[in-house]
């Protein structure tokens, strides 16, 4: 059973499951989910806790011994097993399958994994975890959801926030929820309950944003000019290599062209997205961009990107960071819908 972190509290109140799996890359949400499971287990008598940190030297026979042995004092036990790589190996896969098939009595097992790729999700050991455990997905909070997430956290400490102050806070904390929670908690220490003003937030909150190139590409595709410029400046300040930024920006451009070409031949949108390997949340972003960015503009952008590549390699003149800014701005400017003559669809 898959649940979100927001659903965990209700699940724990209904029934304490023998096996929980926390999976995803958002550190704050993973820490909070693990703390919630451990606290609930402790209040229900699971006082004995063992921690297994799995690395390449881990002896998987320890898991089998733990599964088979009983507590020396007859106490309920909790196993906290962390697999940072998400790759248990052949021996580990077999051990996890055995654990899932024969969960020991009077025990709670908590497994922590990073986000799993498609190959991992198709493996027998992962499917065994899916079948036997409550799976808690701790994915990063998408940019459009940050405002709600911040307001919910502030409401828990009796505070509200003015719209301009909220946008400032989003800009300062994007991509770094762990630091974001620290800043939100600091607001509770500094100010009483009620409405937080722009001045109060500006004076209190540090710039703890963590910029990533995938957010840059998302800002480009969703026509968020201000966000694109801010993230690019942040990446430059962090010393992110321009070739990495360029390749991340050009990949969705090529994907858009592939999807548009498929649509022009009459292929259904769902099939076109599948053939272009566009999955999950990315589908929504691509679908918005398809309606806004015509093929001619994408081709011009790819020619521009080729010139930027020559600048990076030193065979052409120019300021690479200014060119990366201009590349993004050319695609974040709102474009009118263009009708495809062959299909009659807007592209």
130 and 151 co-located in one domain: no
The CATH number for 222's domain is 1.20.272.10
Quick one: pLDDT at residue 70? 62
196 and 233 co-located in one domain: no
**Cα Rg of the chain, angstroms:** 24
133 and 184 co-located in one domain: no
Residue 41 counted as domain residue: yes
Quick one: pLDDT at residue 16? 92
| 138/273 Cα distance (integer angstroms) | 25
Residue 338 counted as domain residue: no
Ramachandran class of 266: left when φ > 0, alpha when ψ lies in -120 to 50, beta otherwise: left
Number of domains in the chain: 3
Quick one: pLDDT at residue 128? 95
Residue 345 counted as domain residue: no
Q: For residues 88 and 96, is the Cβ–Cβ distance under 8 A?
A: yes
Quick one: pLDDT at residue 74? 61
164 and 242 co-located in one domain: no
Tell me how crowded residue 261 is: count the other CB atoms within 10 A of its CB.
Answer: 14
Structural domain range at position 176:
143-204
Residue 115 counted as domain residue: yes
Residue 341 counted as domain residue: no
Quick one: pLDDT at residue 282? 80
251 and 181 co-located in one domain: no
Residue 290 counted as domain residue: yes
Q: What is the DSSP letter of 144?
A: G
The domain boundary, picked from 137, 158, 189, lies at 137
The domain boundary, picked from 112, 137, 162, lies at 137
185 and 116 co-located in one domain: no
147 and 132 co-located in one domain: no
> pTM of the predicted model, to two decimals?
0.64
Residue among 38, 59, 58, 40 nearest 50 (CA): 38
199 and 78 co-located in one domain: no
88 and 152 co-located in one domain: no
The domain boundary, picked from 155, 182, 204, lies at 204
The CATH number for 177's domain is 1.10.8.60
**Contact partners, residue 262, CB within 8 Å, separation at least 6:** 271, 272, 275, 276
166 and 102 co-located in one domain: no
45-90: pLDDT as tens digits? 998 889 999 988 899 998 888 877 765 556 788 999 999 999 999 9
First to last CA, the chain: 38
| 77/104 Cα distance (integer angstroms) | 10
Which residue positions in the chain have pLDDT lower than 50?
Answer: 335-347
The CATH number for 80's domain is 3.40.50.300
Q: How many CA atoms lie less than 13 Å away from 98 in the CB half-sphere?
A: 15
68 and 179 co-located in one domain: no
Residue 44 counted as domain residue: yes
Quick one: pLDDT at residue 202? 84
Q: Coil, strand, or helix at residue 50?
A: strand
Quick one: pLDDT at residue 23? 96
Quick one: pLDDT at residue 269? 87
106 and 12 co-located in one domain: yes
Quick one: pLDDT at residue 71? 53
């Amino acid at each position: 059973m898959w649940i979100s972190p927001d659903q965990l509290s209700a699940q724990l109140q209904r029934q304490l499951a023998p096996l929980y799996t926390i999976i995803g890359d958002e550190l704050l949400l993973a820490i909070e989910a693990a703390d919630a499971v451990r606290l609930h287990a402790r209040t229900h008598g699971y006082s004995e806790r063992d921690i297994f940190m799995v690395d390449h030297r881990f002896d998987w026979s320890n898991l089998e011994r733990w599964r088979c042995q009983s507590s020396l004092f007859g106490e309920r036990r909790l196993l906290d097993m962390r697999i940072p790589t998400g790759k248990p190996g052949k021996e580990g896969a077999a051990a996890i399958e055995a654990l899932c098939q024969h969960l020991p009595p009077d025990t709670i097992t908590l497994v922590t994994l990073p986000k799993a790729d498609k190959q991992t999700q198709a493996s027998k050991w992962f499917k065994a975890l899916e079948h036997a455990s409550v799976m808690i997905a701790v994915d990063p909070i998408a940019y459009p959801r940050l405002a709600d997430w911040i307001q919910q956290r502030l409401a828990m400490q009796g505070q509200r926030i003015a719209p301009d102050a909220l946008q400032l806070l989003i800009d300062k904390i994007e991509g770094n929820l762990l630091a974001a929670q620290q800043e939100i908690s600091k607001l509770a220490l500094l100010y009483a309950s009620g409405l937080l003003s722009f001045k109060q937030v500006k004076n209190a909150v540090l710039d703890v944003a963590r910029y990533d190139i995938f957010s840059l590409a998302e800002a480009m595709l969703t026509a968020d000019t201000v966000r694109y410029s801010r993230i690019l400046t942040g990446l430059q300040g962090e010393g992110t290599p321009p070739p990495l930024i360029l390749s991340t920006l050009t990949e969705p451009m090529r994907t858009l062209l592939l999807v548009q070409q498929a649509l022009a031949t009459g292929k259904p949108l769902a099939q076109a997205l599948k053939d272009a390997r566009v999955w999950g949340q990315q589908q929504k972003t691509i679908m918005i961009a398809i309606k806004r960015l015509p093929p001619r503009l994408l081709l011009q952008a790819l020619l521009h990107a080729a010139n930027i590549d020559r600048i990076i390699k030193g065979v052409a003149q120019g300021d690479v960071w200014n060119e990366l800014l201009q590349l993004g701005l050319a695609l974040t400017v709102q474009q009118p819908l263009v009708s495809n003559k062959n299909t009659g669809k807007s592209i």
